[in-house]
Amino acid sequence: MDSTFIIEKSVVILVVFGVTMLMAMYSTWAERKVAAYLQDRVGPNRAGWGGLFQPLADGLKLFAKEEFAPNTPNQFLFRVGPGIAMATALMTSAVIPWGDRLHLFGRDILLQATDINVGILYIFGIVSVGVYGIMIGGWASNNKFSLIGAIRAASQMVSYEVAMGLSIVALLMMTGTLSLKEISEQQAGMNWNVFYQPISFLIFLICAFAETNRTPFDLAECETELIGGYHTEYSSMRMGFYLFAEYANMFISSTILAVLFFGGYNYPGMSWVAENWGVNLANIIGIGALFVKLCGFIFFYMWVRWTIPRFRYDQLMHLGWRILIPLSIINIMITGVVILRGEIFAYLGW
């Protein structure tokens, strides 16, 4: 392992980290702006042009606020909860291919922190750990509302992870790989997976809403019933970390949706651009294409939030266990039959 490799990877990791933070920051701004526009309002417009410095002002405010901790026997857990939520939210971005590769300084630079061959499994694993941040925070708060919120979040995320994993299985049967890089490469041109696996996409989308605790599945922090859910007792930047982790999760899940189903960094005419204008430019446009797609998903998240009211808890469980899981199993079976149709036809002698 030479030193240039380490430098290259550190730069990629730092850029990915910075971009994730920036996107999470500006998602809060976008959320307020989109909410305002959908409700015929103007939204934040005092801090900077169009309120663009609003996230900075919010962050400054959160840092300056008094840090209040409840009288709880679990001081350590209370402190560590937001950290776990934030760390897991940022870790998932490591395996996402932001673009193909850039040719700089005589080297091929892979636009991905690491291309491990179990990329999707890694993401699922990290996302499951993310529950602990919420669970520990809610438990350590020593507050009934926090505890109920945390329990809701845990059972909701565990239930929907099953449906999410099963919905991906059908896709993986088609692609034959778990590496996000290879999945992106297979979708070159307009060969996007969403055209082959629309049901898988729909289930994954619904589960992504539930996994990120977004409306209509935000039962973990529903203000009307639980004050703030698991972060009721949190104040200052600790609460900021929870909210920030939520937005980072939203950014990452939008990216995964774009990579798995909407062709990742591919765009129509990419090979033509690579031939005529050079590989670097083609891939920079590719990064732009990925960002357009994922920003579309982030907008969709917000759009849905201000359209659909929250589910009741039994409805949520009903949808997860009795509709989405059977549906994804049927989808797996149909996909299997379609993949093996040649063998089946040969067996039947048609």
Residues in contact with another protein by CB under 8 A are: 34, 37-42, 45, 303-304, 306-308
Mapping DSSP to helix (H, G, I), strand (E, B) and coil, where does residue 176 land? coil
Nearest CA among 109, 122, 134 for reference residue 284: 109
Smallest distance, Å, CB 216 to another protein?
Answer: 9
Nearer to another protein by Cβ, of 42 and 129: the residue is 42
Q: Which tokens sit at 66?
A: 């008094």
DSSP assignment of 11-49: HHHHHHHHHHHHHHHHHHHHHHHHHHHHTT-----SSSG
Smallest distance, Å, CB 38 to another protein?
Answer: 5
Query: Residue 193's beta-bridge partner residues?
Result: none
Smallest distance, Å, CB 41 to another protein?
Answer: 5
Nearer to another protein by Cβ, of 125 and 198: the residue is 198
Smallest distance, Å, CB 245 to another protein?
Answer: 26
Q: Which tokens sit at 318?
A: 């009903």
Nearer to another protein by Cβ, of 291 and 306: the residue is 306
Nearer to another protein by Cβ, of 39 and 224: the residue is 39
Q: Which tokens sit at 195?
A: 């055209």
Name the one residue in this structure whose structure tokens are 């950290």.
83
At residue 65, φ and ψ (nearest 5 deg) are -75, 155
Measured distance CA(33)–CA(43) in Å, rounded: 5
Nearer to another protein by Cβ, of 46 and 64: the residue is 46
Smallest distance, Å, CB 91 to another protein?
Answer: 32
